Chain A
Amino acid sequence: MVRTIEDMSLVGHTCAVPVSDEQLWEVTAQWLAGGLAADERVVYFEDETAGAVLGRMADDGVPVRRALDEGRMVIVPTAQTRAAAARPVARYEEMFLDQIDRASAQGFTGLRMSGECGSELLRAGGVDRVVEYEQVVDRVLRSHPSARLLCRYDLPRFDEDAVSQMRELHETELIGEAVYDDNLLRITRSDPSTARLAGEVDHSNRPQIRKLLETVLDQALRSHWASSDITLDLSSLRFLDVAGAVSLVHAAEEFPSTHRLVLTGVRPRVVRVLDRCGAPFAAQLVVVPRTGQHRREGGRHHSPS
């Protein structure tokens, strides 16, 4: 029943139960990006959340601007999303069939959708209305295997009972494993020497950085295959406080001489904090700013490895 996100091509009507906003943006962005990669028409029903989703897709290196310009991706504006959720349930079938027709008429391989419909429906008619909607949608999607929909049920908005009801209604659930998620900062790992930080680092969660680096470094040192670069992807890190920056700089300084700490996709705001905390003088720290091309090596005693 439960599949990992790598199997997305097999998934039709699926759900996710994010524990935090960061996870919500992460899973939505991956879902929509998967559609773009598969040459599907991508539709996102927004409710003042398009900025966060498109931002996360841009962080992930997805060429969103181009996809929007070329009409491969469509954002349904907030007012329309709310109006759609207010319609009688019987109209949903019509709406989805219309979307499916449009996608095939334009020559896409399929249709991939996600958005804020669930929470709008909840507002409009409670859990019962969401259930009705899901049943209609499921019927439509079963008869149109090239159409896919991700429904998101986040716990603060949907209580435990509602969430388990929703899980029943979906064949699959997208699971995003996190090493840490406190709704301000989310840490995920993709391979033994890489981790990704999304959100904000401050006094409340700063110790997690040190803990993470210790674990990743330890695993890298024990593995013969792991890279000698420990990489932290900071492209979705929107705030780093001074002590957090100092702890990254100190951690790199304490790395064994064989290893480097590489920070990638670093936003200008975070680059400035790192610069003010001695990052340019840490020999084993490499800061790669978000714009990409310009690679800045720390330290004068740096030797390429």
Chain B
Amino acid sequence: MRVENTRSGRWVRLQHAAAFHRSRTDLVDQVLPMVLDGLRGGTPVALSVDPATESAVQRELDGTAGLILLSRPDGPDGESGQTLAARRARELRELVSATGRPLIVINEHTSRLDGVDGTFWTELDAAFNIALAELPVTMTCFYPELPLHREILDGARRNHPLLAVRGEMAHNPHHLAPREVLAEQPAPAPVLLGPPELRLPFGAWQLHDVRSAVEDALLSANCPRERAEDVVLAVNEVATNAVEHGDARAELLIWVTDDGVVCEIHDAGSLRDPLPGLQAPHSSNPRGRGVWIARQLCDSLHVWTDDRGTHVRMRASP
């Protein structure tokens, strides 16, 4: 779906800006004019900010309707930037097609998701650049001037093509393409899980066994049939990618937890696309569609690479 900017007649795409603030007061002072400008011009404004920021903005707006509140990142894999970016892309795509208008989005950093070194934010913004690229969205990400981890500032400077300084959008000379950012700072490995319920090595001719194992695990976790079928499709697509080239061997690991099933697929290969399946597939290019669909079907899908190969963790609640 595309939204046309009526003035220039050109397709509007993602405008991704970083902004920095000294304090919450400073943050609200910067956010307010953006919100007011948008709403006055008839552009819907969506917020993903701290509840304190949100209520301060609402107070100033005097209860004016029109603010859209986006889901706050949470959940067991809230630390997966690519998962959050995929979910946000879906949310914004729905908003854009519902309103038929471009959108202003304001994000605020929260230290809750910093993890050990803050690389979550680097992954998130790189993933935003890929996942939201085609959407008519002007997104400003607010970061504290003095975050706990230096990586947060470094990442923000590399990932954002624009800088919002006191209401003015300026070109960011330090901006790098997502691929370059991720080459320097790859998506982190998720927290380790205990020993899996099942470990199944497989090749290109054993995908049926992969599907059966995943289906059995899902049904044992009381997953409804239709949901189980969709998750089996998701895992099948990731497993297919792992063995697609030559006679590559791969491995499936399954954990059954109280909140559903976790599957990991490991292979020794490397990725051409550091964050596959984030861009909505084009009909002209069938590749990448499988992982894109898998991301839509799983609660979280995190891809990471290291010197042993490529790894994917998928989580699915019943």
Contacts and interface: CB of A to CB of B under 8 A. Distances in A.
Interface of A: 184, 200, 202-204, 239, 241-243, 246, 250, 268-269, 272-273, 276-278, 281
Most A CB atoms within 10 A — which of B211, B244, B286? B286
Contacts of A277: 289, 293
Contact of A273 (B205, B233, B243, B283): B233
20 contacts: A202-B208, A202-B211, A202-B240, A203-B204, A204-B204, A204-B205, A239-B232, A241-B237, A241-B290, A242-B237, A243-B286, A243-B289, A243-B290, A246-B286, A246-B289, A250-B286, A268-B226, A276-B293, A277-B289, A277-B293
Chain B interface size band reads 20 to 34
Nearest to A202: B207
Nearest to B210: A202
A44 to B, nearest CB: 25
Given A202-B211, A242-B233, A268-B226, 9 more contacts: A184-B208, A203-B204, A203-B240, A204-B205, A242-B237, A246-B289, A272-B230, A276-B296, A281-B283
A231 B283 CA distance: 23
B83 interface: no
A183 B237 CA distance: 21
Interface in B187-219: 204-205, 207-208, 211
Given A241-B236, A269-B229, A200 B208 contact: yes
A242 B208 contact: no
A155 B296 CA distance: 42
Contacts of A203: 204, 207, 240, 243-244
Main secondary structure of the interface of B (DSSP, over half): helix
Contacts of B211: 200, 202, 239
B292 to A, nearest CB: 9
Most A CB atoms within 10 A — which of B230, B232, B290? B290
Contacts of B243: 203
A281 B1 CA distance: 14
A203 B238 CA distance: 12
Going nearest first, the 4 A-B pairs with the smallest beta carbon separation are A242-B290, A269-B229, A246-B286, A203-B240
Contacts of B205: 204
Contacts of B290: 241-243
Nearest to B240: A203
Contacts of A241: 233, 236-237, 240, 290
A250 B208 CA distance: 24
A184 B206 CA distance: 11
Contacts of A239: 211, 232, 236
Contacts of B207: 202-204
A272 B205 CA distance: 24
A184 B210 CA distance: 14
B289 A242 contact: yes
B237 A278 contact: no
A204 B293 CA distance: 20
A128 B275 CA distance: 61
Interface of B: 204-205, 207-208, 211, 226, 229-230, 232-233, 236-237, 240, 243-244, 283, 286, 289-290, 293, 296
A279 to B, nearest CB: 11
A272 B228 CA distance: 13
A304 B283 CA distance: 24
A184 B207 CA distance: 11
Nearest to A184: B208
B294 to A, nearest CB: 9
Contacts of A200: 208, 211
Contacts of B232: 239
A261 to B, nearest CB: 16
A280 to B, nearest CB: 12
Nearest to A270: B229
B118 to A, nearest CB: 35
A17 to B, nearest CB: 23
Nearest to B229: A269
Nearest to B294: A242
B265 to A, nearest CB: 13
Nearest to A205: B205
A202 B205 CA distance: 9
Contacts of A281: 283
Contacts of A273: 233
Nearest to A273: B233
Contacts of A268: 226
Nearest to B207: A202
